[in-house]
Amino acid sequence: MAEPRSFHPLIQEAYTGVHQWLSKQPAAAGYSQVPYPYRDQAKMDELLTKESLKMAAAQFSYFFHTHYFKVIHTFDQVLTKTYLLNWIEQNKNICILDIGCGGGTGSIAFLEILIRLKEEGYLRQSLNIYCVGIDINEFTLVIYHQFMTELKPKLATLNINCEFDIIPNRVLEACSKARDLLEKKREQWNLPVLPRVLMIHSTVVDLLKEQHETQIKKYKSLQRLGIDTNCISEDYANYSREYAPNYRQVLEEVPIDKLSVIQSVQIETQNL
């Protein structure tokens, strides 16, 4: 039977630091007493969608571990150490786009992989890692920012320079800002192209699907007021296909050599 996974000690220290910080924030008071909704869908929806630091902290407590170790498993068992080492050794400058960041599940899982590879002696060179947390819920990004702040000095002891930004926006708007941030980072690193960009979406909330559902509600409200509109597809699959070219076009405006996308355990790598 496989041994249960646990945080690397440096990650555990940072994780504990985040909870200590949250315990001192008046806006998060009582977050540890928010009950898990189990089979109550209405309360689950409230937990996942109500935008407050208290509810974001409760989400972090309940869901961070699950999504974090899901990403770790993907790196370990699907991508594999050999594959990761191959492209990390070739690229000392790596960008992470953490979509619907969930307090940093994707970013921090990848950083744990780097910590382990460093400590095991597989990586000796210094690394520059640039992480961008993207979420429509600004309170989730507050937790992301604090987690990265806690972890940054610990990474520096391993010659991993980690910088990070946050984007509190929906998908397309976030892509536009991400494009600007990636282009700025490329210029700072003095590179003709960004050699590797890793986009991770690991959380329970699908930002694009949530956006689609919100727009459907708005159009239905218009229809109830007698305004006939067929401006949006009610089928999410069609909506996402219509949306994808715009999403890709924004990112393609940044010179990127390889863009790898991880959604749960689905991985796609493209040369751009």
Q: Does residue 75 lie within any of the structural domains?
A: yes
Q: Does residue 4 lie within any of the structural domains?
A: no
What burial class does residue 65 get, using C-beta atoms within 10 Å of its C-beta: 0-12 exposed, 13-18 middle, 19+ buried? middle
Q: In the chain, at which residue ranges do the beta strands (DSSP E only) sit?
A: 93-99, 127-134, 160-167, 194-201, 256-263, 266-271
Residue 47 in contact with residue 55, Cβ under 8 Å? Answer: yes
Q: In 1-126, at which residue ranges do the beta strands (DSSP E only) sit?
A: 93-99
Phi, psi of 185 (to 5 degrees): -65, -40
Q: Which range of residues forms the domain containing residue 179?
A: 9-204+258-263
Can you give the pLDDT at residue 239?
53
Q: Does residue 225 lie within any of the structural domains?
A: no
Can you give the pLDDT at residue 255?
86
Task: Kindly state the tokens that stand for 49.
Answer: 């969608």
* Number of separate domains in the chain: 1
Rounded to two decimals, the pTM is: 0.82
Q: Does residue 126 lie within any of the structural domains?
A: yes
Can you give the pLDDT at residue 205?
47
Under 8 Å CB-to-CB from 94, ≥6 apart: which residues? Answer: 88, 127, 128, 129, 130, 195, 196, 197, 198
CA distances from 205 to 105, 130, 166, 183, 233 (A): 13, 23, 17, 27, 20
Q: Does residue 29 lie within any of the structural domains?
A: yes
Q: Does residue 66 lie within any of the structural domains?
A: yes
Per-residue pLDDT of the chain (272 residues; tens, 9 = 90+): 456 678 999 999 999 999 999 999 999 999 998 887 776 667 666 666 677 899 899 989 988 988 888 888 888 887 788 888 888 888 899 999 998 777 889 999 999 999 999 999 998 899 999 999 988 889 999 999 999 999 999 999 999 999 999 999 877 678 888 889 999 999 999 999 998 888 887 654 445 556 656 667 766 776 776 666 665 545 545 555 555 565 566 567 788 888 777 765 444 444 44
Q: Does residue 209 lie within any of the structural domains?
A: no
Q: Does residue 16 lie within any of the structural domains?
A: yes
Nearest to 48 by CA among 134, 170, 135, 167: 135
Can you give the pLDDT at residue 201?
78
Using N-to-C axis directions, what is the helix angle for 81-90 and 105-119, rounded to 10°? 90
